[in-house]
Amino acid sequence: MQLADKLFYYQYVSYLFIPACYLLLSGLLQSALLLFMENNVIVKKSMAKKNQPQWEKNYPSTTSELVPFYSNKIIPFRYDGADLNFFLSQALFSSFEIDPGSRLLLKTIAQNIKIDHYTTLLDIGCGIGTLGLCLKKRHPHLQLHSRDRDALALAFTLHNARHNKTELASLDPELGLDNLATPFDLIISNLPAKAGPLVLENLICGISQKLSSEGTAAIVIVKTLVNMAEECIKKAGGEILFSEGSKEHHVFHYRGTESKTQADFLEQAQRTQKSMKHTPFQYNFNGFYGLQEFDTLHYKSMLALGLFSRTAPRKKLAIWNPGAGHFSSAIAKKYPLNDIALGSRDLLSLKAAEHNLKQNIKENAETLIHTHHEPSFFHWQVECQSLVIFPEEESGIKAEPWVLEKAYDILPQGGQLAIIAKSVNLYRILEAKNGWEIIQDKKSRGFRGIMAIKS
């Protein structure tokens, strides 16, 4: 091939090859760009989806769901020929078996008290319902009245009553003997050792005053308080009908005759009175037997106050588990509020926190404060703009995954949330934090507190 022909050939090929390469490269670049844009849209959609709460209504919002959720076992129990089954909970007293004190009291009642001619039965501090339900099952004619300060305990008593096909004449959230007028033929109680000396003394004496003319009181108490209990019965002009002890507990059956005006439970339970200061907060405070922080602040309260030291709560504030009321009192004293809602299982906590709040609110305390006695946080129906949660921390109760879900249902858009708990528990709570923007995060001595905004 001559030189001229070769040049023509190469020129012809280059004219064809270069445009072809251009078209090929353009196509590849366009495909890559489209793929990138498509993937970017998918990523954005995925991120948007991830930032939206994807919860289902899994938390136990009804009483029928509550007991199975909180129950760790069901045990059979036979009392004086009657067969029963009890749902137990690690969140309540006697969580793995019927406790020895209750067993001793039931045994002595079966052996020493003639119940056939009795009509009314009162169970004080009923717990899961063991004492009253055993006697009601064995003696169906009895009218059983049960009371407790713990709303979860009352829910278990009701569930156990239905499960064992026994009827309750009444089931009351009350403290000790408060608001009790009707005399009873038989009053029973497994007295709490931590209630405080004045509370126990008034309970033991007061029970005898609530008996009918031929009625009997039957109580069980820890061994270390035997002398105190015996002195109280005698002080009330009582007659000890029967007494029996074991290694750890002691039972008294007695009657009493002395009649005197009883102070209410909260007044009896008061333990300390002082002025508290935790910069920049200062407030008045009364401590109570049966509640923590009677004279000093716990790390949880310090963390909670730290979150709000420079950030004010919204005008409508709700607090779950206020304890004796340190946090609520300090906040109410420093910041102007239009509404304060307190929620808890524990009636003593609610009454103590309300009492302390009223000391620190100058005006309209009666209309500002609202208390809600609920068996769990998941039952609480409340309207608020700021929500502060001190979660329950019983071992074996895995409620953490649903705390944020319930809080999300309570608060409006932009609502303010604070949670204060053990660090490990709060870590589990925050595993499902979609829908929240965390703006504060504090830690102290194994505890942690966060503040978040509902996005």
Convert the pLDDT of each residue in 283-292 to its tens digit: 999 999 999 9
Question: What mean pLDDT value characterizes the chain?
Answer: 87
Does the pLDDT value for residue 435 go beyond 60?
yes
Q: Closest Cα to residue 355, out of 326, 381, 376?
A: 326
CA separation (Å) from 447 to 221, 376, 419, 437, 452? 35, 22, 11, 20, 17
CATH of 63-263, one of 3.30.2180.10, 3.30.2320.80, 3.40.50.150, 3.30.450.20: 3.40.50.150
Contact 216, 188 (CB under 8 A): no
Question: Is residue 265 within 8 Å of 173, Cβ to Cβ?
Answer: no
Q: 151-163 and 63-70 helices cross at what angle (nearest 10)?
A: 100
Looking at 3.40.50.150, 3.20.20.140, 3.90.79.10, 1.10.10.60, the CATH number of the domain 271-454 comes to 3.40.50.150
**pLDDT at site 36:** 47
* Average pLDDT value for residue range 192-206: 86
Average of per-residue pLDDT across 66-78: 92
DSSP string, 333-398: HHS--SEEEEEESBHHHHHHHHHHHHHH--S-HHHHEEEEE-SSGGG-----SEEEE-----TT--
Burial class (CB in 10 A: 0-12, 13-18, 19+), 37: exposed
Mean pLDDT of all residues in 188-216: 89
Look up residue 317 and give its two tokens.
């504030």
- Alpha-carbon distance of 81 to 19, in angstroms, equals 101
pLDDT in tens, 368-405: 999 999 999 999 999 999 999 999 876 566 667 789 99
Tell me how far apart the alpha carbons of residues 192 and 382 are, in angstroms, rounded to a whole number. Answer: 32
pLDDT at 257: 64
Do 118 and 141 contact (CB within 8 A), yes or no?
no
pLDDT at 198 over 90: no
For the segment 185-210, the average pLDDT, to the nearest whole number, is 89
- 442 contacts: CB under 8 Å, gap ≥ 6: 303, 306, 307, 448, 449, 450
Which residue shows structure tokens 């490990």?
424
% of the chain exceeding 70 in pLDDT: 85
Q: Which two tokens stand for residue 20?
A: 């072809």
Give the tens place of pLDDT for each residue, 136-157.
999 999 999 999 999 999 999 9
pTM of the full structure: 0.86
User: Is a pLDDT exceeding 50 seen at residue 316?
Assistant: yes
CATH 3.40.50.150 location in the chain: 63-263, 271-454
- 264 exposed, middle or buried (CB, 10 Å; 0-12, 13-18, 19+)? middle
Would you state the pLDDT for residue 432? 79
Is the per-residue pLDDT at 8 higher than 50?
Answer: no
Residue 212 has pLDDT above 60, yes or no: yes
Give helix then strand counts, H and E, for the chain.
14, 18
Count of residues making up the chain = 455
